[in-house]
Amino acid sequence: MARYVAAAFIAAYFLAMSWPGLKSGFSHDDLMNLTFTLRDGWAKILTANVLFFSSTYRPLGALFYRGLFDIFGWNGLPFRIVQFAALSFNLYLLYRLTSKLTGWKEAGLIAALLLAWHGNFSPLFFGSGNCYDVLGFLFYLTALNYYVSIRERGIPGFRQLGILAILHICGLNSKEFAVTLPLVLLCYEVLRHPASFRRPAVWPFGEGRAALLCALLSAAYSAGKMFGPDSLTAQSAYKLQFSAVAYLES
């Protein structure tokens, strides 16, 4: 009973702090992103979501924008509702993952409470310009939850690897930070299944096959984003800069 009360409190706290964002409408970023989706058209958006290794910029976010715009037009409320629903689901995903990893549901509730609201999270609630982060987090944690569940039952099979690959590709199509998923899977294996590393030559094709698959997907994605035509690194804002000044500024 206490857990349900705690969950209700977290939900009420989340809504009490974030509901003004429902009235925020479109931001300047939204107008820019919508313009790009209208320019590119459905064919390019859908193709880019399949060819995740292309240089197209965050195509799942483009699908979010274009799909809602074609249905609701210049009404910002549906955009906010969908993003709020995704944010709420992210809290559940974090709760579930933390509970599984710790074996303690109270830890999951604490994690959800910490993520429910922070002043620096406010851009997530006002305008949809950060839909990429919200969608990326959603698919990242969905992939982790799925992996932990199947790994508890043994080595992932090909069907399970296919589902994990789709989730990872959706994360990559949302935001660049999804490339780190293979590292997190590797850390999970090191901490939870250290005995499997006693056979290093076999590990990548057995217990480590999921991490290897996601690493290959991340590598293909990164190559397209860094070296493809109209790649991110061709834009001055995304060029890597290694200097003391760049370090201090960041």
Q: What is the pLDDT of residues 68-90, one digit of tens each?
A: 999 999 999 999 999 999 999 99
Residue type, 112: A
| pLDDT band for position 195 (cuts 50, 70, 90) | confident
* DSSP classification of residue 53: T
The domain containing residue 157 runs over which residues?
2-229
Q: What is the pLDDT of residue 237?
A: 66
Query: Is 214 a member of any domain?
Result: yes
Query: Is 225 a member of any domain?
Result: yes
Query: Is 106 a member of any domain?
Result: yes
Mean pLDDT, the chain, rounded, equals: 91
The total number of structural domains in the chain stands at 1
The model's pTM: 0.91
Query: Is 20 a member of any domain?
Result: yes
Query: Is 135 a member of any domain?
Result: yes
Dist. CA 173–CA 175, nearest whole Å: 6
| pLDDT band for position 233 (cuts 50, 70, 90) | low
Query: Is 246 a member of any domain?
Result: no
Query: Is 250 a member of any domain?
Result: no
Query: Is 42 a member of any domain?
Result: yes
Residue 182: exposure state from Cβ atoms within 10 A (0-12, 13-18, ≥19) = buried
Single out the residue of 219, 217, 64, 210 nearest to residue 146, CA to CA: 210
